[in-house]
Structure 1
Amino acid sequence: MREAKDMTTNDTKKNIDINEDTVFGVIGVCGINGNLISRILMDHGYKVIANDMVNPEDCRFKSALKDYPDMEIYYGGVPESFFEKSDYIVLPMALIESKSMLYQKVKKYNIPILTPEDICDMFMPAHPVICITGTNGKTTTVAMLKNIVYKSGLKPCEHNLDNLQGNAADIPALQSRLKGDLNILETGTFGVTGSLKKLAEPCHPDVGIITNITPDHLDKNERFLDYAMVKGELIELLRGKKLIVNNDDPTIKALLDKLDYVGEVITYGLETNPVSKSTKQCFCGNNAVVDEYIAGVGVYSCKCGIEYQKPDFLAFNINDEHNAFDLKTPDNKIMHFELSVNGLHNIYNATAAIVCALKILQLDYDTIYQGVKEFNGVDGRMQTIGKIADKTIMVDYAHNPAGISTVLAELKNMYDVVVDVITTSSESGIKGDHEILENALKHADYVIPASNNAYDCAKEALDNKIGINQIILPEYLPQGEKIGTLGASKDQVKAGLYTALSLANKNVDLIVLTGEAAYKFEETLKDEIHSFK
């Protein structure tokens, strides 16, 4: 047996002695961290043998391993040869903390144990590292910027974990150490103090993009300004570096001032007609008044002196369909862009991606134009899943008040009669569910509640004579319960769809099912649409 010291504590950096012949044994290759760590080690030229207790056909992320044919994988168990060949073994933290039988066996062999944190210490990310955060628009901005980058011939590091967004736990940090030319990372959190720093700091960000900050991811015990300060953790990590921020959000402006940020700030924004007026809490204790373009952003002012100014990059001459615009640069050049997706929110997302491509990556106009034009959207965002008669059926992941308001406003700009089937259960509790219903009633012609929370809010609204001509209750809502942010069950989503389809005399043009459940049960909805035909 090898003579090796106990390397299972992280009080100090480990003295890891490796060379080109070092063999790493990775436990749990079909899990998130094991999969990523195995690929990182092989990308850096090391030999990996890996294991997972499941059978090959049950390996959740097996497709991510297809480009690693030399990786030796043991499925269904851990043979003795695994321990005999390994110079180091990478164990999931859960097995270390529980001092599992497998952990005990590794200790018996005196094999040094490594953790995900050790792997991050061993390798640095490919640079530049661009971290994107905000309440809304992160996923689309990441995807759009990646589309531009691929058009340029560069290859971002990709986690390639099927059906995972990749914005939580160790994924961004590990993803940034994979093979690639640069990193474009979604760094979102649920607003817990310290969580964004914990997520982004191991990524060693060079550039940050902040899309917006709205009070939508809060539970009943959280304050909006505390949530905003969590977004400020990325700002703190980027002192002396570069930030690209939504100029039209007063909370971002106030946060930069409060944190006394020192570094290069590049601003982007829109010029269009305000659609409503609202207020947002400011750190001064007053409320900033906002003439909104979309929820929470627009032209603003506050008594403390924070007020709207023209951004460095201004999107203007926006067409009626909200899929084409001109962009004025700081040196007064005018660039024209067209999108294959609609919506002012997508013009915000596109502008952020364009600014990063121009200023940070220094890509040429033609490449950026094509990358934006050929971007067809993100699954679950204003995604058409079928058509019945003359009715378009769509799902959208919008699951907070600002998201619902923004999406439905854009859909009303595209369709005459819109039905919104609400499948949400707000992260902010029942207060958030009430706000979601309120915003849906502002924009949709008819609203159908398909989750328990949405149904209770709708019943209360009707009892108070609100939405009497808009709210349509399902005749029967099946059993369901809130699971995390998943509001409706599969049967409840189906009931919502069939209630919407029953509105035969309402000349409906669009049925949109909004919320996480709508997206999760998309395939079920497609089957129902097919059977209805």
Structure 2
Amino acid sequence: MDKHSSEVDKIPQKRMKTYGVIGVCGVVGNLVARVLMDHGHQVICTDIHSSDNCPFLYTLNGYNTQICLNEHPESFFKSSDYIIPPPSLKRSSKLFQKIEDSPAQLMEVDDLILEITPNKPVICITGTNGKTTTTTLLKHFCYNAGFKPTEHGFMTLQGNVDYIPPLQCRLDGDVAVVETGTEGNKGDLKFILDRCHPSCGLITNINPDHLNHNQDFMHYRLIKGELLEELRGRTVVINGDDPAVWGLVSNKNYDGKVVSFGVDHPPQGKSKKECCCGREIDLNETISGVGYYLCECGLKRPIPNYLATNVEGNSFILETDNNKIEMEMSITGLHNVYNALGAIATGHEILKIPLEDIKKYLKTFKGVPGRLEYIHKDKDMNLIVDYAHNPSGVETVLRELNKTYDKLAVVITISSESGETGDLDIIERTIDYADFIIPASYYSRLASEKFISSGKIILPPVEPEKFRDGTLGATAEQVIEGLKKGLRCDADALVCIGEAAVKYKENIKIFVNSEDINRFKR
């Protein structure tokens, strides 16, 4: 035997530490376990829920970990060197006391975030509308260019708040492209960004659609501005056609690199928007909330670094300082041109993907499920679902559909984040673009009563029961009842709009494919 080898064998080997994760059936616990295992740590997991009540268990397939469900066994506490509870666990609880009494060392989620930092570029995308499509499109560019973006993997979860983006940044991958949202409160975005360590940021737009009752637009805009404070001189990609975004950058005298995008397109309407100076700006809109503007204070639309011209259908000419290249999309709508521009600018500037390659990748992007998604097509009426859940998002979607269809019926399943003001605004904007309006949710029905004189409101036979869970305003039954009314309308297309439309998409498909549907057609 080799003498050197025998000497090495005598050296005591350091035992690998074991991390115990409590609450693996929850989103945060699930991500914590995967982050630890992606970084080579030994992990055991536990949860009081059964496998039937552990909706994201599939994300752990392929990982080598012991999972104890239905209880927190004594062996879990004895085998763990560190125990990480969910942030929601109260310190006064018996379980927390049991952790403290165990031989294991308590580790909070924030301790883990400090210990494991993102070892990759992190791109944080925020804004009021378009975040999900822009994020998904940029990740599509990444995959095609040979990068592996981190994915939180929760199929039914948007995952843009709280600890989800920071933990997603730390999963296995070459780049983190994360959607970052807020609950409309000061510090929401800062909480996420402080833990993400972004290399770059992107702001799609800022519209007054997510305001809480006691907030003003200036306050909400400053929340989104927390991204600029976090970047501290790094690159930010912004929608220059939005005076709220451009005013934020100008007002903060941002000292990093600013890359702007915008479109050269005939205005589709007029509105007003508050400038950073406090005045109201006349806005010649290309889509809701963005367009051409000039304020008395001197704020004016910049010449975009990435400009879309000659927008026709799904194609446009992309103009930059050094290039002029024709782009073609498989998704429709001027709002998606904006989404594409944000993704293109970020992909080219930050990830250095050549524009000619981006051109190929853009054409193969089929969109995000639940965004102008066609559920059923026939000669009588097309059925579409869309996730839009705030006034400007609803207006943008309906304005686009108006270009294709002569008569439009809309089923509204929304409960606005802005309460009664937002619910009223959604109905009012829908009236401008729809021929028939079916309020399926309790709160949309309540708001629609003030617009009965429009002649466009069709009330379901039974008033919907009161239901609200964030922007999820309708139950599956209420959605189907709304569709039944919509099918009787003399329209070319029926669009079911809101979070419930997407959440209960499978219920809609089952209903549409059933023989009973013919009883409700006009």
Q: Does TM, normalized by the shorter one, top 0.5? A: yes
Residue of structure 1 equivalent to 2:266: 273
2:197 to 188, 191, 204: 204
Q: Given that residues 387 and 529 in structure 1 are in contact (C-alpha distance below 8 angstroms), is that contact kept between their aligned partners in structure 2? A: no
Residue of structure 1 equivalent to 2:242: 249
Residue of structure 2 equivalent to 1:45: 40
1:472-514 per-residue CA deviation (whole Å, 9 max, x = no partner) reads 22333332333332222323222211111112xx2x2110011
Residue of structure 2 equivalent to 1:477: 463
- How far apart, in 2, do the equivalents of 1:61 and 1:278 lie? 44
Cα gap change, 1:368/1:20 in structure 2, threshold over 3 Å: closer, same or farther?
Answer: farther
Structure 2 unmatched runs, 5+:
1-13
SS at match of 2:95: helix
1:296 to 258, 265, 289: 289
2:477 to 467, 486, 491: 491
- How far apart, in 1, do the equivalents of 2:492 and 2:25 lie? 44
Residue of structure 2 equivalent to 1:116: 109
Q: Given that residues 81 and 103 in structure 2 are in contact (C-alpha distance below 8 angstroms), is that contact kept between their aligned partners in structure 1? A: no
Q: Which moved more, 1:448-457 or 1:267-276?
A: 448-457
Amino acid at match of 2:402: K
Cα gap change, 1:232/1:84 in structure 2, threshold over 3 Å: closer, same or farther?
Answer: same
Q: Please show how residues 321-470 of structure 1 align to structure 2 within 5 Å.
A: 321=313, 323-331=314-322, 333-387=323-377, 390-462=380-452, 465=453, 467-468=454-455, 470=456
Cα drift, residue 20 of structure 1: 6.7
Residue of structure 2 equivalent to 1:14: none
Cα drift, residue 92 of structure 1: 1.6
Amino acid at match of 1:93: P
Cα drift, residue 79 of structure 1: 2.8
Residue of structure 2 equivalent to 1:520: 503
Residue of structure 2 equivalent to 1:317: 310
- How far apart, in 1, do the equivalents of 2:198 and 2:259 lie? 16
Q: Given that residues 269 and 314 in structure 1 are in contact (C-alpha distance below 8 angstroms), is that contact kept between their aligned partners in structure 2? A: yes
- How far apart, in 2, do the equivalents of 1:106 and 1:509 lie? 61
TM-score where L is the length of structure 1: 0.91
1:56-90 per-residue CA deviation (whole Å, 9 max, x = no partner) reads 3432111111121x212222223332222211111
SS at match of 2:225: helix
Cα gap change, 1:67/1:285 in structure 2, threshold over 3 Å: closer, same or farther?
Answer: same
- How far apart, in 1, do the equivalents of 2:248 and 2:17 lie? 47
**Aligned pairs, number:** 504
Is 2:512 the partner of 1:529? Answer: yes
- How far apart, in 2, do the equivalents of 1:131 and 1:238 lie? 10
- How far apart, in 2, do the equivalents of 1:472 and 1:255 lie? 42
Q: Given that residues 480 and 492 in structure 1 are in contact (C-alpha distance below 8 angstroms), is that contact kept between their aligned partners in structure 2? A: no
% identity of equivalent residues:
44
- Structure 1 stretches of 4+ with a deviation exceeding 4 A read none
Q: Please show how residues 502-513 of structure 1 align to structure 2 within 5 Å.
A: 502-503=488-489, 506=490, 508-513=491-496
- How far apart, in 2, do the equivalents of 1:54 and 1:483 lie? 22
Cα drift, residue 278 of structure 1: 0.8
Cα drift, residue 150 of structure 1: 0.3
1:125 to 101, 118, 123: 118
- How far apart, in 1, do the equivalents of 2:115 and 2:418 lie? 39
Residue of structure 1 equivalent to 2:7: none
SS at match of 1:414: coil
Cα drift, residue 397 of structure 1: 1.0
Q: Given that residues 20 and 46 in structure 1 are in contact (C-alpha distance below 8 angstroms), is that contact kept between their aligned partners in structure 2? A: no
TM-score where L is the length of structure 2: 0.93
SS at match of 1:416: coil
Cα drift, residue 388 of structure 1: 5.4
What RMSD over aligned residues (CA atoms) do the two structures have, in Å? 1.7
- How far apart, in 2, do the equivalents of 1:280 and 1:342 lie? 26
Is 2:74 the partner of 1:88? Answer: no
Cα gap change, 1:85/1:436 in structure 2, threshold over 3 Å: closer, same or farther?
Answer: same
1:390-413 per-residue CA deviation (whole Å, 9 max, x = no partner) reads 211111111111011100011111
Q: Given that residues 395 and 512 in structure 1 are in contact (C-alpha distance below 8 angstroms), is that contact kept between their aligned partners in structure 2? A: yes
Q: Given that residues 315 and 325 in structure 1 are in contact (C-alpha distance below 8 angstroms), is that contact kept between their aligned partners in structure 2? A: yes
- How far apart, in 1, do the equivalents of 2:183 and 2:405 lie? 33
Is 2:68 the partner of 1:74? Answer: yes
1:306 to 299, 302, 307: 299
- How far apart, in 2, do the equivalents of 1:351 and 1:269 lie? 7
